[in-house]
Amino acid sequence: MNFGIVVFPGSNCDRDCYYVIKEILNQPVRFIWHQETDLNGIDCVILPGGFSYGDYLRAGAIARFSPVMSEVKEFADRGGLIVGICNGFQILTEAGLLPGALGRNKGLKFICRYVSLRVERNDTPFTTEYRRGDIIRMPIAHNEGNYYIDNPDKIRNQVVLRYYGENPNGAIDDIAGIVNERGNVFGLMPHPERCSEKILGSEDGLKIFKSIVRAL
């Protein structure tokens, strides 16, 4: 199986994801510059965290027009697995690959710390290594993580992760991560790549990557 990590101008978590996949899981992985349009041979696409185009207009709003995103959409239509982490989640919503939108945190301040999450679904290709109801810890690092959708009941079955105990950014219905209706596109605000080794304080994020490997 082959992973592809899309690199936009301003991405800063691309190498973290690369390290987890290459050094911890020993899986093939390559970087994909945002101007590329060839995803041949890729089984899972990762849109990493960071500040694509400096969030100059709105987080993810410019990146959605990068040439690679047309191919990412086709890849999703073919059933390919896609993970958008933090800024990647924002890009997926801006591109219409996931419903809803992400706005400024409720306190209008950047947040960078560990939070607790509850696993709502373990039947997706990204969460089979967890048990439903598991309480896990992952770090967040964002300024625009306030997830909103007009009718959260419409996506209730698509919610994969919820904030547990506290809602750090004001996201509606405590939503921290969702999948599309088909279940092959996953967006989440927490950073699993930053908690995939004991030395980092938690290994809870590694199970997301292990789940993907298992699914593929």
For the chain, give every domain's residue range. 3-215
The whole-angstrom separation of Cα 150 and Cα 53 is 27
Question: pLDDT tens digits, residue range 129-182?
Answer: 999 999 999 999 999 999 999 999 999 999 999 999 999 999 999 999 999 999
Q: Is 193 a catalytic residue?
A: yes
Q: Is 112 a catalytic residue?
A: no
Whole-model pTM: value is 0.96
pLDDT on residue 1: 85
Catalytic, out of 71, 144, 191, 195: 191
According to DSSP, the residues that pair with 24 across neighbouring strands are none
Q: Is the pLDDT of residue 201 over 90?
A: no
Task: Pick 3-215's CATH classification: 2.60.120.260, 3.40.50.1980, 3.40.50.880, 3.40.50.720.
Answer: 3.40.50.880
Q: Is the pLDDT of residue 82 over 90?
A: yes
Q: Is 86 a catalytic residue?
A: yes
Rounded to whole angstroms, what are the CA distances from 122 to 1, 125, 161, 183?
21, 8, 10, 11
Confidence category of residue 87, pLDDT binned at 50, 70, 90:
very high
Catalytic, out of 94, 144, 193, 195: 193
Catalytic, out of 71, 86, 142, 144: 86
Mean pLDDT of 112-140: 98
